[in-house]
Amino acid sequence: MARKVTKAIFPVAGLGTRFLPATKSVPKEIMTLVDRPLVQYAIDEARAAGITEFIFVTSRGKSALEDYFDHNQILEQSLKEKGKDELLKTLNATNMESGAIAYIRQHKALGLGHAVWCARRLIGDEPFAVMLPDDVIAAEKPCLQQMIEAYEETGGNMVATMEVPPEKTSSYGVLDVGDNIGTAVRARGMVEKPKPEEAPSNLAVIGRYILRPSVLYNLNQNKLGSGGEIQLTDAIAEDIRNGVPVFGYKFDGQRFDCGSKAGFLQATVAFALARDDLREDLQEYLHDVIVTGQAAQ
21 touches ligand UTP (CB under 6 A) = no
Least distance from C-beta 29 to ligand UTP, angstroms?
7
| Pairwise CA distance, residues 3 & 20, whole Å | 41
Backbone angles phi, psi at 46, to 5 degrees: -65, -45
111 counts as binding ligand UTP under rule CB under 6 A: yes
**Closest distance of CB 195 from ligand UTP, Å:** 18
Q: How far is the CB of 13 from ligand UTP (least distance, A)?
A: 3
Residue 16 or 156 with smaller CB distance to ligand UTP:
16
Q: Which stretch binds ligand UTP (CB under 6 A): 30-38, 103-111, 153-161, 190-198?
A: 103-111
Contact assessment for residue 229 and residue 112, using Cβ atoms and an 8 Å cutoff: yes
Q: Does 248 bind ligand UTP (CB under 6 A)?
A: no
Whole-angstrom distance, CA of residue 35 vs CA of residue 239: 40
Candidate segments 6-14, 97-105, 158-166, 208-216, binder of ligand UTP by CB under 6 A: 6-14
Rounded least distance, CB 168 to ligand UTP, Å? 14
**Which of 9, 16, 45, 65 is in the footprint of ligand UTP by CB under 6 A?**
16
Strand positions, DSSP E, the chain: 7-11, 32-33, 36-37, 53-58, 101-105, 128-131, 135-138, 157-163, 173-181, 184-192, 203-211, 246-250, 254-257
Total residues belonging to the chain: 297
Q: Which stretch binds ligand UTP (CB under 6 A): 13-21, 61-69, 191-199, 244-252?
A: 13-21
Cα distance between the two ends of the chain:
59
The only residue of 2, 6, 18, 244 in contact with ligand UTP, by rule CB under 6 A: 18
- Which of the residues 25 through 54 are near ligand UTP (CB under 6 A)? 28
CA dist., res. 19 & res. 22, Å (int): 6
Which residues, other chains included, contact 160 with Cβ-Cβ below 8 Å and sequence gap of 6+? 137, 143, 147, 205, 206, 207, 208, 209, 248, 249, 251
CA distance 221 to 231: 11
Is 236 a binder of ligand UTP (CB under 6 A)? Answer: no
Give the per-residue contact string, 51-90, with ligand UTP (x = CB under 6 A; - = no). ------x---------------------------------
Return all residues near 171 (Cβ < 8 A) that are at least 6 apart.
Answer: 164, 193, 204
Considering the complex, state which of residue 115 and residue 187 has its C-beta at the smaller distance from ligand UTP. 115
Please calculate the CA angle 37-205-228 and round it to the nearest 5 degrees.
90
Q: Which of 5, 7, 8, 14 binds ligand UTP (CB under 6 A)?
A: 14
Residues 6 or more apart from 27 whose CB is under 8 A from it? 12, 16, 61, 62, 64, 65
Residues between 256 and 285 that touch ligand UTP (CB under 6 A)? 259
Which helix or strand (DSSP H or E) is residue 235 part of?
Answer: helix 232-241
Report the residue number, 142 or 259, with the smaller CB distance to ligand UTP: 259
Q: Which is nearer to ligand UTP, 13 or 51 (CB)?
A: 13
- Contact residues toward ligand UTP (CB under 6 A) are 11-18, 28, 57, 106, 109-112, 114-115, 132, 134, 259
